[in-house]
């Protein structure tokens, strides 16, 4: 079974002082935990990555980013390359988040290229997939997720170089979550589809994301094939994020 991963996606939140305080608090708590049984990851916005790296140094908390460009370097104003993130100490990069797919019209092929760039730079991509409310209502959840796995998961990855996050778009920031039976069904489908792509699909961590809170984390984190969480809003408060992490035990 994959080791549990609790990841905080801070999205476009936190000024420097807030980010440092949050990261420090998590670092202190995680460092004091003698047997955490799970990995803890924070993904601040780009301008805070370096400061957060210093705030969590030596604590065991891992550092990630929220996106990257598929290229190594070059004339791409405003973009950030994967090697720059590795250079700052990042171990993970979220790619294909639904907010990027919506706001920046990212398609599966580009997501797969970004994932490859992340792996080339020595880090692990967290590839996000998930259906919209319209697709769910039309009964297309499983076909949409299978199609996104086929298109967004680059070939040649293994459990060492791949994390999947299932985030139903309609559950993000809404306080609504699928039933545990629905989560179990989709995660089982994801694992089956991954077996077409990677040789050790059983070891790939598959995170659930979308309105994970202290009150529902325990239930969600113990659904079969759920190997952790990708947390948005609740990752911005140390107590809430910590409580979610404890629920994963």
Q: Is the dihedral of CA 19, 22, 24, 26 positive or negative?
A: negative
- Determine contact, residues 124/162, Cβ cutoff 8 Å: yes
Shortest distance in whole angstroms from residue 144 CB to ligand 13P: 17
C-alpha dihedral over 80, 81, 82, 83, to 10 degrees?
Answer: -120
Integer Cα distance of 248 and 218 in angstroms: 6
The closest residue (CB) to ligand 13P is 232
Instruction: List the interface residues with ligand 13P, window 33-72 (CB under 6 A).
Output: none
Assess whether 97 carries a catalytic annotation: yes
Q: Is 135 or 158 the residue whose CB approaches ligand 13P more closely?
A: 135
DSSP for 144-185 reads HHHHHHHHHS-TT--GGG-EEEE--GGGTTTS----HHHHHH
Assess whether 167 carries a catalytic annotation: yes
- Applying CB under 6 A, the span of 82-90, 138-146, 204-212, 219-227 interacting with ligand 13P comes to 204-212
Q: Which residue in 36, 125, 178, 210 binds ligand 13P (CB under 6 A)? A: 210
Q: Which residue in 48, 149, 154, 172 binds ligand 13P (CB under 6 A)? A: 172
Per annotation, catalytic residue among 110, 131, 167, 185: 167
> Which residue matches tokens 């080339």?
120
Residues in the chain, overall count: 249
Q: Which residue in 163, 212, 221, 244 binds ligand 13P (CB under 6 A)? A: 212
Q: Is 125 or 233 the residue whose CB approaches ligand 13P more closely?
A: 233
Integer Cα distance of 29 and 238 in angstroms: 9
Q: Is 97 or 191 the residue whose CB approaches ligand 13P more closely?
A: 97
Per annotation, catalytic residue among 69, 92, 97, 187: 97
Q: How far is CA 35 from the centre of its chain?
A: 22
Of 74, 193, 68, 42, nearest in space to 120 by CA? 68
Query: What distances in angstroms separate CA 193 from CA 31, 186, 207, 236, one per listed residue?
Result: 36, 10, 15, 33
211 near ligand 13P, judged by CB under 6 A: yes
Instruction: List the interface residues with ligand 13P, window 82-121 (CB under 6 A).
Output: 97
- Applying CB under 6 A, the span of 34-42, 142-150, 178-186, 209-217 interacting with ligand 13P comes to 209-217
Binding stretches for ligand 13P (CB under 6 A):
9, 97, 167, 172-173, 209-212, 230-234
Catalytic sites, residue numbers: 97, 167
């Amino acid at each position: 079974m994959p080791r549990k991963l609790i990841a905080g996606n801070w999205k476009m939140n936190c000024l420097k002082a807030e980010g440092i305080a949050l990261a420090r608090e998590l670092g202190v708590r995680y460092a004091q935990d003698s047997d955490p049984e799970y990995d803890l990851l924070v993904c601040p916005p780009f301008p805070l990555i370096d400061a957060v790296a210093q705030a969590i140094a030596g604590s065991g908390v891992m550092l990630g980013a929220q996106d990257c460009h598929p290229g190594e370097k070059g004339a791409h104003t405003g973009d950030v390359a994967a090697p720059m993130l590795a250079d700052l100490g990042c171990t993970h990069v979220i790619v294909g988040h639904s907010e990027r797919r919506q706001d920046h019209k990212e398609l599966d092929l580009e997501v797969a290229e970004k994932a490859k760039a992340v792996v080339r730079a020595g880090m692990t991509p967290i590839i996000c997939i998930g259906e919209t409310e319209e697709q769910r209502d039309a009964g297309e959840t499983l076909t949409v997720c299978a199609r996104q796995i086929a298109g967004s998961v680059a070939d040649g990855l293994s459990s060492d170089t791949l994390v999947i996050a299932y985030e139903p778009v309609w559950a993000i920031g809404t306080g609504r979550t699928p039933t545990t039976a629905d989560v179990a069904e989709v995660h089982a489908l994801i694992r089956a589809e991954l077996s077409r792509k990677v040789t050790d699909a059983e070891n790939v961590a598959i995170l659930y994301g979308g309105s994970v809170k202290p009150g529902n984390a325990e239930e969600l984190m113990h659904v079969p094939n759920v190997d952790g969480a990708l947390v948005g809003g609740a990752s911005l408060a140390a107590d809430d994020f910590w409580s979610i992490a404890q629920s994963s035990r």
